[in-house]
Amino acid sequence: MSYNINFQISALIIVVLLLHHFVTRKKLHSANTKIFTYVLILSGIYILFDLISTLAIMSYEPACENMALIILTVVYLFDIMLPYILYCCAVVSRGQGKKIDGVSMICTVVTVIMLILMLINLTSGWFFYFDQSTGYHRGSGYVMLYIYVLLYIVLVIHQTLKKREDLNVHKMGVLAEIVVIEGLCMGVELYTQHVMLSGFGLALGLVFLYLTMNNPGDFIDSTTGVFDKQYFDNWIQEKLDKRTEFHLIAVEAFMLKQINKVYGSSVGDQLLVQIARELQNITGSVQVFRTTGNCFLVIMDSLTEYERNRQQIEEYFREPFIVDGEKIDFPAVICGIINSEKMEQEDVLLAYVEYLVSLVKHTDETVVIQSDDRILEGFRYEKEVEHFFKNAVEKDLFEVYYQPVYWIKEERYITLEALSRLKHPNMGMIPPDVFIGIAERQGLIAQIGLLQLRRVCHFIKENEHIMDSIRNVKFNLSPSELLKPGHSQVLIDIIKEFGLSQAYFQFEITETVATEYSESFCKAVEDFQNAGIGLCLDDFGSGYANLNAVLKLPFDVVKMDRSLLTGITCDEQAANFYRSIVMVMQNMGYMIVAEGAETEEEVNLLRSWGVDMVQGYYFSRPLPEKELLKLF
């Protein structure tokens, strides 16, 4: 019989090409890439042997029958061993090498039996035999070889699936396709006996695997050429699981947005490419990732490497960048985390990086922040609060405290600021700065705002007499509450629902959100104005607000940020600055609240400058309902 060996030759070429591409492409050391390299090598050998055996059969001469029988037996013995070796590789690299499970035992026994049967075949001819006149023939047991190989393919795929929770429907589909293709090819080969397709099916399967799960080009960030977030996620989790030492440097190019605005996004892209290249040059490794638009991570395995690299990266960012001959300052926040393996989980590690970045007050200079025990403790505290938080929202464990605001002219309290409080059974009071931030990140702030507004309404309804001396209650609104379409009406409706006058309320809006004009924000402001709810500009002077934009809004009151108060009693310049702002704002018709006055000296100064109202610990701290009522 003549055999069609074209498919075997093609299969061999395909596998060799795949192997060449896979080995030479940039990739990181991981269990998955290791397995895939083994799979490629073993598959290549398997197909080569398949081809040799076919050639041996084709060139059969009755005179050298024994020779052909021995060559073929040796090849088949290898054929039986190879799937077994492949399976062992898959098991070992999944980290289950030490304890042998039931399936592995059965596999070993089956493989040994197959090897023995193949040796016995020299006399029994159960798998194959030679006929003096017609040459090579398959025996009745030949089909067992196909079943055996197919079984191992399924087992290897099963091993790959194990522990890989990230396998989605698409990837499962790919693996199923591979099994089906190989099954079909084997079926055709078994049926026709002369079209040698099984190796070709295997090669096709490998091409599929290369294109889907093992394509090193898949996880490359197209702008910068470093690895992307998805690759980082998989790779770093494997590293964390091994618990071997590693250190991380994060580089956040926080000016990217501004650069894109000023110079155009192509310049922004070029800067990112420069950073990516330099990070690879400095570290001399491929372990560089871009995890968000402006954040790069570099992983190092030794502490000396880490120290050296951190210094060099810092120096690199101190110099201006050059794009198209123009010098551009492109500072960054550089975070260092030594022994990152302690973070255990990939998402925790990334959250920690984000936390570190959030601690840095953005200036226009490069800042280095190095993780230490104190910072880590702060992070864990926040995580614990975060954990507790969902529960707190569901059970509504919040309270409202009220801080009275003193009216200088009539020497009495004139308004209150409602401030949220959350008490943890073990951790005590959680500062609102912490939990409001969490609520914003978890998208729960609007929900909490509604709960708190109801609470305030309820309190006023029960104690409406305090409104005889109090003009209004100030209520804080976060940016997301102001930007959520339709939310303003929900707030207004709650006040209506309690039958309270809208004039009892004044909403506080921070200066940063007031600058970020958007349609829903303007609509909210308009709604409040129409309903008769006053507006107060909060934290004035704390950021870089666009004054022109802010002052177009219908504020009644401007609250001077506590930070402006620092030094007014000892620093003439600080005092002049404060006084001038008060003057300008009053000339423009705003009432002024000075926030954060703690000493008599401060209050006297503020009084002499004609500040209308003062809110601060000097007069009163925020008080729970009962204590507030005592005050009135």
Q: State the Cα–Cα distance between residues 564 and 296, nearest whole angstrom.
A: 35
249 touches 334 (CB < 8 A): yes
Return left, alpha or beta for 621; rule: phi > 0 is left, psi -120 to 50 is alpha, else beta: beta
One residue of 476, 482, 578, 609 binding ligand C2E per CB under 6 A: 476
Region binding ligand C2E by CB under 6 A among candidate stretches 227-235, 339-347, 528-536, 594-602? 594-602
216 is an interface residue for ligand C2E by CB under 6 A = no
602 is an interface residue for ligand C2E by CB under 6 A = no
Region binding Ca ion by CB under 5 A among candidate stretches 96-104, 326-334, 374-382, 470-478? 470-478
575 touches 605 (CB < 8 A): yes
* Beta pairing partners, 474: 417, 506
DSSP 192-214: HSSB--HHHHHHHHHHHHHHHTS
* Residue 557: count of CB within 10 angstroms of its CB: 23
Burial group, residue 164, by CB count within 10 angstroms (0-12, 13-18, 19+) = middle
627 is an interface residue for ligand C2E by CB under 6 A = no
Region binding ligand C2E by CB under 6 A among candidate stretches 197-205, 356-364, 429-437, 579-587? 429-437
Tell me which residue of 473, 319, 351, 305 sits closest to 403, measured CA to CA.
473
- Name which of 122 and 623 has its Cβ closer to ligand C2E: 623
Tell me which residue of 461, 449, 529 sits closest to 490, measured CA to CA.
449
Binding residues for Ca ion restricted to 479-508, rule: CB under 5 A: 508
Which does residue 366 bind out of ligand C2E, Ca ion, none, counting CB within 5 to 8 angstroms by kind?
none
Instruction: Give the HSE-up count for residue 236: Cα atoms under 13 Å, Cβ half-sphere.
Output: 29
Strand, helix or coil for residue 255? coil
539 is an interface residue for Ca ion by CB under 5 A = yes
613 is an interface residue for ligand C2E by CB under 6 A = no
Residue 401 Cβ vs ligand C2E, minimum distance, rounded to whole Å: 7
Query: What are the tokens at 16?
Result: 């060799």
Binding residues for ligand C2E restricted to 451-470, rule: CB under 6 A: 452
State the virtual CA torsion across 493, 499, 500, 503 in degrees, nearest 10: 60
Which one-letter DSSP state was computed for residue 361?
P
Which does residue 616 bind out of Ca ion, ligand C2E, none, counting CB within 5 to 8 angstroms by kind?
ligand C2E
Site size for Ca ion, by CB under 5 A? 4
620 is an interface residue for ligand C2E by CB under 6 A = no
Strand, helix or coil for residue 541? coil
Instruction: Give the HSE-up count for residue 458: Cα atoms under 13 Å, Cβ half-sphere.
Output: 9
Which does residue 83 bind out of Ca ion, ligand C2E, none, counting CB within 5 to 8 angstroms by kind?
none
334 is an interface residue for ligand C2E by CB under 6 A = no
Cα→Cα distances 293→260, 265, 289, Å: 12, 12, 11
- Name which of 138 and 454 has its Cβ closer to ligand C2E: 454
Q: State the Cα–Cα distance between residues 473 and 484, nearest whole angstrom.
A: 23
Tell me which residue of 43, 40, 42 sits closest to 32, measured CA to CA.
40
- Name which of 221 and 508 has its Cβ closer to Ca ion: 508
Question: What sign does the dihedral 422-428-431-436 (CA atoms) show?
Answer: negative
Binding residues for ligand C2E restricted to 378-417, rule: CB under 6 A: 403
535 is an interface residue for ligand C2E by CB under 6 A = no
- Name which of 313 and 593 has its Cβ closer to ligand C2E: 593
Which does residue 598 bind out of ligand C2E, Ca ion, none, counting CB within 5 to 8 angstroms by kind?
ligand C2E
366 is an interface residue for ligand C2E by CB under 6 A = no
Query: What are the tokens at 87?
Result: 């399976």
Region binding ligand C2E by CB under 6 A among candidate stretches 305-313, 359-367, 543-551, 610-618? 610-618
* Beta pairing partners, 454: none
572 is an interface residue for ligand C2E by CB under 6 A = no
Which does residue 612 bind out of Ca ion, ligand C2E, none, counting CB within 5 to 8 angstroms by kind?
none
Binding residues for ligand C2E restricted to 182-211, rule: CB under 6 A: none
513 is an interface residue for ligand C2E by CB under 6 A = no
Residue 273 Cβ vs Ca ion, minimum distance, rounded to whole Å: 42
538 is an interface residue for Ca ion by CB under 5 A = yes
- Name which of 253 and 565 has its Cβ closer to ligand C2E: 565
Which one-letter DSSP state was computed for residue 465?
G
What is the identity of the amino acid at 395? Answer: K
Residue 512 backbone phi and psi in degrees, to 5: -65, -40
One residue of 377, 396, 462, 598 binding ligand C2E per CB under 6 A: 598
Residues at the contact surface with ligand C2E, assessed by CB under 6 A: 403, 419-420, 431-433, 436, 449, 452, 476-478, 508, 538-539, 596-598, 615-617, 622
Residues at the contact surface with Ca ion, assessed by CB under 5 A: 476, 508, 538-539
